[in-house]
Amino acid sequence: MASNVSRRTNKKSNSIKKGDATSNQPKTKKKSHPGKAKYLVICLALIAVAVCFIYFYRSSESKPLMKSDSPKQKGKRSSKSTTSTDKTRSPTKDDAKEIPPELKDFNASIQKEFKITPIKIEGQTLKFQELKSNLSSSVRAYVIENFLSDFECDNLMRVHKKYLEIFSKNDPILCFDSLPTLKKNLKELKLKYKVSNKDFIVGTTCLNESFSSQLKPHFKWSYSTAFYPGENKFSTAYAERIQDATGLKQQNGGKFQITSYPIGVGYKSHTDCIVYEKGKGELRDRYATVLVYLQDVEEGGETEFPLLGIKVKPKKGLALVWNSMDQDGNCEPLSLHDAKKVKKGHKYIIQRWYYYKSFLTLGKRPPEPSLPKRKREQPRVSCDEYEQGSCRWYDEWNYDHIKEYAANVRNMA
């Protein structure tokens, strides 16, 4: 019985609804998943950021420029960004070249005066004398006795003759500063040649080789050979001697030029500098000249300053020093001088010009031009302006007869 009762009880309990059974039991919390929640929050945040970005991007494209964003200002900003990029880019050939160190560090030297100081050579004090002029001017001229020894004079003449022999194997090419100068020379020599620009080598004011050879027997000229500072021991010692005796600075000196004058040859009246209107001259011009006679001349060959009433006869070892510019850098017209024609004997001199304002290439042997085309060791003869110049033979070539160079010099003046 008891068992039946219990079974009934069980049935009765089984007939109770599940909901009722559970409602009477204590409630228990379900287990949460925090990883899934965080992931969901992050996704929602990313979506929100993306939506905002798209919204602002589209609105910025459609809205008009603000005043602060005017096209000019936009250009300025873009140029800044370009500039910052340019700073890191590799240089190109269009970029400005850097100034060479020798030019960047060069300081021009000014030579506005000179003063003769007695110096000793081999224990003997050299005597000097100022040459008095007829007129009051800024030009001062002096002579210094025995400035070069007999040995030095003889060796300089020997070297000069050696180079004349080497370069005289070829006929010289004759160059003129202009066609009118050529015509005036031909007229003086009573030569009847019809000349035109076609007789000149293209790009130059030099006659072609054939015409130069035809004219050679009719012309007379002096002969010059040159050496430059540092090319031999004598150049260094001689430059120091000049500086000690005159105060003319070595850095303001040009090349050393040895010149010889055969019988019947001289040089017309000229100034060593170019005469301009006062205050408008070129400062890189010849301020002073140091000229030494290398041997006596039997007759003729004097150096004369016609306006100053000064005349110097060649004497072996005698130095003649004068200035051609005043202290302000103006070329002095009263420095006009000439070399009288040699009547008997042979005249030899060595001279060096000192410039009022130095420049980088002063005293350095320049590269020779490719024009005119010529043979190896072929000399040139330059005939300067007819009224103030004469013809002179040279063992080196310069750019004075290159048309393009001469035109550039005129444009710079």
Give the tens place of pLDDT for each residue, 124-170.
999 999 999 989 999 999 999 999 999 999 999 999 999 999 999 99
Mean of the pLDDT values across residues 328-347?
98
Domain map of the chain by residue range?
120-410
- How would residue 338 be classed by pLDDT, with cut points 50, 70 and 90? very high
Q: How confident is the model at residue 342 (pLDDT cuts 50, 70, 90)?
A: very high
Both tokens assigned to 7:
């079974």
Any bridge partners for residue 261, and if so which?
Answer: 347
Looking at the DSSP bridge assignments, the partners of residue 98 are none
Considering only residues 307 and 104, tell me which one the structure prediction assigns the higher pLDDT: 307
The model's pLDDT over 173-222, given as tens digits with 9 standing for 90+, comes to 999 999 999 999 999 999 999 999 899 999 999 999 999 999 999 999 99
Range 330-347 average pLDDT: 98
CATH topology of domain 120-410: Jelly Rolls (2.60.120)
Answer yes or no: is pLDDT of 39 > 80.
no
- Which of 186, 188, 243 is closest to 214 using CA atoms? 186
Query: What percent of the chain has a predicted confidence (pLDDT) above 70?
Result: 75
Per the CB < 8 A criterion, the answer to whether 217 and 172 are in contact is no
Return the pLDDT at 398.
Answer: 94
Cα separation, 75 vs 256, in Å, equals 61
What 3-state DSSP class applies to 290? Answer: strand
- Burial of residue 242 (CB within 10 Å: 0-12, 13-18, 19+) is buried
Q: Report the 3 state secondary structure along 88-101.
A: HCCCCCCCCCCCCH
The residue behind tokens 């130059």 is 204
| Spatial distance between the Cα atoms of 186 and 277, rounded to a whole number of angstroms | 32
Token pair listed for 371: 């024009």
> At residue 386, what is the residue type?
Y
Three-state SS at 5: helix
Residue 356 has pLDDT above 80, yes or no: yes
Lateral strand order in the sheet of 267-270: 267-270, 337-339, 303-305, 310-312
